[in-house]
């Protein structure tokens, strides 16, 4: 079956949308995907009596197809990235898949909020010196930016030392969160499907049966 000019335009349009919607990945990876889908469409048209519309409908929309590729690419990319935004986006994706992913997302959110918050308050200390610090008192342990600041008997204990300490702990939280989440992301990729998750359990069972 020779594809008509109109059909070629329709295929090109589908592939263009696919290319545009494919997420962050190398040009080579993106072009390989487009090439494979292009071959699929053309071979399906040759092999079957289906119309081009039917073939494209069976393939799904270009946007949906790109999204399927995108979810995996996002997690793969994030597992080697230091960008908190990218890492958080990947954890959001995992959170949609189950309780373990949700726990990872919440941990990442907590780690980045705490780390980022500490760094931010260290920066704000010179601007709001009285309102920023660490307050300790009977039943009081409070840090960060407070307006108004906690009152006596709680008192601020760090003074200007708050800046290096908050910066150090802030960076530490950001660093540990990033490394920890990256480790989990790599682990989730290497474990693959739900079946592999029960590997230890099954091996144990097999051992018992044997």
Partner 1 sequence: MIEIHKKLDLENNGSAERWEQQIRKGALEMAALAALWSGELYGLEIIRRFENSSQLSLAEGTIYPILSRLKNEGLLESKWVEAEAGHPRKYYRLTDAGRARLQQMTQTWTEFSRELGTLIKPVIAAQKDEVTK
**Interface positions with partner 1 (CB under 8 A):** 32-33, 35-37, 39-40, 42-44, 46-47, 58-60, 64-65, 68-69, 71-72, 76, 189-190, 192-196, 198-199, 202, 205-206
Give the tokens for residue 188: 């989730």
Least distance from partner 1 to the Cβ atom of residue 143, Å: 43
Report the residue number, 63 or 129, with the smaller CB distance to partner 1: 63
Report the residue number, 99 or 127, with the smaller CB distance to partner 1: 99
Report the residue number, 73 or 119, with the smaller CB distance to partner 1: 73
Least distance from partner 1 to the Cβ atom of residue 103, Å: 20
Least distance from partner 1 to the Cβ atom of residue 80, Å: 12
Phi, psi of 146 (to 5 degrees): -130, 130
Least distance from partner 1 to the Cβ atom of residue 113, Å: 31
Least distance from partner 1 to the Cβ atom of residue 87, Å: 18
Angle between helices 162-191 and 99-124 (to 10 degrees): 160
Nearest by Cα to 33 from 10, 62, 5: 62
Report the residue number, 57 or 85, with the smaller CB distance to partner 1: 57
Give the DSSP per-residue string, 128-172. Answer: STTTEEEEEETTEEEEEE-SSPPPTTSEE--GGGHHHHHHHHHHH
Nearest by Cα to 89 from 107, 64, 114, 71: 71
Q: Which residues pair with 57 in a beta bridge?
A: none
Cα 121 from chain centroid?
Answer: 26
Least distance from partner 1 to the Cβ atom of residue 183, Å: 17
Report the residue number, 70 or 84, with the smaller CB distance to partner 1: 70
Report the residue number, 41 or 166, with the smaller CB distance to partner 1: 41
Give the DSSP per-residue string, 17-81. Answer: HHHHH--S--HHHHHHHHHHHHHHHHHHHHHS---HHHHHHHH--HHHHHHHHHHHHHHHHHTT-
């Amino acid at each position: 079956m020779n594809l008509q000019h109109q059909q070629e335009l329709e295929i090109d349009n589908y592939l263009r949308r696919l290319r545009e919607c494919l997420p962050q990945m190398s040009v080579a990876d993106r072009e390989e995907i487009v090439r494979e889908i292009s071959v699929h469409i053309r071979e399906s048209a040759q092999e079957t009596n289906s119309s081009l519309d039917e073939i494209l409908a069976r393939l799904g929309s270009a946007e949906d197809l790109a999204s399927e590729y995108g979810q995996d690419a996002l997690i793969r990319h994030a597992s080697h990235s230091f960008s908190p935004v990218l890492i958080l986006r990947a954890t959001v994706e995992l959170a949609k898949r189950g309780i373990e992913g949700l726990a990872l997302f919440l941990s990442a959110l907590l780690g980045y909020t705490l780390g980022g918050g500490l760094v931010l308050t260290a920066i704000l200390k010179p601007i709001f010196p009285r309102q920023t610090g660490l307050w300790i008192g009977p039943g009081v342990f409070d840090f960060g930016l407070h307006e108004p600041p906690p009152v006596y008997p709680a008192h601020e204990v760090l003074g200007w030392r708050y800046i290096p300490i908050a910066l150090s702990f802030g960076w530490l939280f950001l660093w540990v969160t990033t490394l920890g989440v990256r480790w989990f992301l790599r682990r989730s990729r290497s474990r693959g499907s739900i079946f592999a998750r029960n590997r230890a359990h099954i091996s144990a069972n097999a051992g018992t049966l044997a």
